[in-house]
Amino acid sequence: MANIRREFGDDLTLKNGKLGINTITAQEKVDVVGVVKGQDLYATGVSSLTAYEGFLRADNQIVENTTLEFGQGLKSSLSGEIIVGTGVTVTIGVVGLGTTSVGVGTHTIQNNIDTTDINLAGGSQIECLKVYNTFTPPNGGTNERPYAPKPGELYYNYDFKTIEFFDGNGWRQVDNTTRSGRAVSFGGLVNPSVTVVKTIGYWNIHTLGNAQNFGEATLNTRMNAACSNGSRGLFAGAFPANQETIEYVTIPSEGNSIDFGDLSEDRGDVQMGSASSSTRGIWAGGSQEENIIDYVEMATLGDALDFGDLTQGRRNLGGFSSPTRGVFSSGGESPSFKNNNDYITIASKGNAILWNEIVRSGLSGNCASNQIRGVFAGGYNTVDTIKSMDYVTIASLGNTIEFGDLSIGRHGAAAASTQTRVAFAGGFTTFPASSSSVAISMEYIEIASTGNALDFGDYLTTIAQAGATSDSHGGLGGF
């Protein structure tokens, strides 16, 4: 066969024949053996080669119905941004986006999804897809999340009414502002006989009003510490039983608590501090100035595991969190009160790091946060109860700043937050504490603006030393 050499730019026309390059037995209209490279290759339709990728240019605008085939080996490669016009159908293999009938498991297309081929749609070769009208991710309840999700996978949660994404370890929220705002408190000490109770109460932080009955704990409990992943509320430790027990409730529904597991050791006879993210619940300190930090994965039942240690042993300390950091504040180490903050990175285990010193020292301060600010309210010292409030910006590791005042001095109150408010319930109003100083009143602050607390409503009864958490606190959220 004769060799034909043509100059670049020459026209080459074939009619009713086949042309081979580097072969004398051409099988196709153009049959190439060897390496052929093209620069600025332009195709009026969709062009592909079985052995090469990248022939679909980036930012390809598809203006007509197109089928991108995947068969024995990759026949089409999508790279860059694919822009699909309104009313245009893009079909990958036999799986169609926008078609009326697509199926799974049969060659006869009868159902919504129908194919015996490998489904490469929705997470295969498309790096960027721009949709002009609507895009709907997989959706369902919390218990219907995908069984084996990949990092970055999106899901719309009907229970929380928010978009979630899987970060490789657990589901995190993209939007944390649409939660219900339900706060839950556990146990406590009531008047007039200074009785420890099983009562679990709840209220909505977004709206003012009185608390209502949620259910009961397994045992009478006070001085417990609570945390939440948004759907589950967990509380651990108790006095006077010195329990290591961890119990939980499902926050969206009312009912009695259920056993979750145990702390690493008994240390609930004097209150611990707690913090949590969307996945982990953490308890620190407690008992006789313990420095232990425990954690659990809240989506699964089981005993707590060792996380690390506080910078020093403390009891009656406060705790709050952002989605990345947990902060444990103040508390005491006999014979003195401490006024330092420790912080941890929730996603990684390890010892706490000393942050700074807060304006005042004291025990049993009432702490809560949104994703940005943590607020310290009340407490007591060797002289009296404290009514002042301070705050910090969690991400900055800066000093505390004056926020305002509670209406009365409180220590041992139940504090719970949303992204906008903190609500405080009950607490002792005098020091030393007495049965006549247990409060029933509730008050609140707006986290974004400094100022004094305002009246919220009343708790179920007079209450002090109850642990509290919410489905909307600062530790939740994907960002």
- Print the SS3 string covering the chain: CCCCCCCCCCCCCCCCCCEEECCCCCCCCEEECCCCCCCCCCCCCCCCECCECCCCCCCEEECCCEEECEECEECCCCCCEEEECCCCCEEECCEEECCCCCECCCCCCCCCCECCCCCCCCCCCCCEEECCCCCCCCEECHHHCCCCCCCCCEEEECCCCEEEEECCCCEEECCCCCCCCEEEEECCEECCCCEECCEEEEEECCCCCCCEEEEECCCCCECCEEEECCCEEEEEEEECCCEEEEEEEECCCCCCCEEEEECCCCCCCCCCEEEECCCEEEEECCCCCCCEEEEEECCCCCCCEEEEECCCCCECCEEEECCCEEEEECCEECCEECCEEEEEECCCCCCCEEEEECCCCCECCEEEECCCEEEEECCECCCCECCEEEEEECCCCCCCEEEEECCCCCECCEEEECCCEEEEECCECCCCCCHHHECCEEEEEECCCCCCCEEEEECCCCCECCEEEECCCCCCCCC
| Same domain (yes/no): 32, 48 | no
Strands 340-345 and 388-393: unpaired
The token duo for 346 is 């929730």
pLDDT for position 351: 96
| Same domain (yes/no): 315, 444 | yes
| Same domain (yes/no): 242, 208 | yes
| Same domain (yes/no): 26, 98 | no
| Same domain (yes/no): 464, 342 | yes
| Same domain (yes/no): 299, 388 | yes
- How many domains is the chain built from? 4
On whether residue 363 sits in a domain, the answer given is yes
On whether residue 338 sits in a domain, the answer given is yes
pLDDT for position 307: 96
Q: Partners of 341 in the beta sheet?
A: 329
On whether residue 404 sits in a domain, the answer given is yes
pLDDT for position 89: 62
On whether residue 165 sits in a domain, the answer given is yes
pLDDT for position 102: 42
| CATH number of the CATH domain containing 228 | 2.120.10.80
On whether residue 59 sits in a domain, the answer given is yes
| Same domain (yes/no): 194, 243 | yes
pLDDT for position 148: 87
On whether residue 475 sits in a domain, the answer given is no
Instruction: Indicate the residue among 135, 165, 197 that finishes a domain.
Output: 135
pLDDT for position 34: 63
On whether residue 251 sits in a domain, the answer given is yes
- C-beta separation of 367 from 309 below 8 A: no
| Same domain (yes/no): 165, 191 | no
Phi, psi of 334 (to 5 degrees): -50, 140
Domain range for residue 13?
1-36
| Same domain (yes/no): 415, 332 | yes
Give the number of C-alpha atoms closer than 13 A to the C-alpha of residue 146, restricted to the C-beta side.
18
User: Distance (Å, rounded) from C-alpha 7 to C-alpha 236?
Assistant: 82
pLDDT for position 5: 58
* Nearest Cα to Cα of residue 186 among 208, 207, 202, 205: 202
Output the tens digit of pLDDT for each of the chain's 479 residues.
555 655 545 555 555 567 666 666 766 666 666 666 655 555 555 555 544 444 444 455 555 666 655 444 444 444 445 556 666 665 555 444 444 444 444 444 444 444 444 444 444 456 667 777 777 888 988 788 888 888 888 998 887 677 888 878 777 767 555 568 999 999 988 875 668 889 999 999 999 999 999 999 988 888 889 999 988 999 998 766 557 889 999 998 899 999 999 998 877 556 788 999 988 999 998 876 678 999 999 989 999 999 999 988 887 888 999 999 999 987 765 456 666 789 999 989 999 998 866 555 556 668 999 999 999 898 887 778 889 999 999 988 788 889 999 999 998 899 999 999 999 999 999 888 777 789 999 999 999 999 999 999 999 999 998 999 999 999 987 54
Q: In the chain, how long is the greatest CA-to-CA distance?
A: 111
| Same domain (yes/no): 221, 363 | yes
| Same domain (yes/no): 195, 252 | yes
| Same domain (yes/no): 263, 370 | yes
On whether residue 478 sits in a domain, the answer given is no
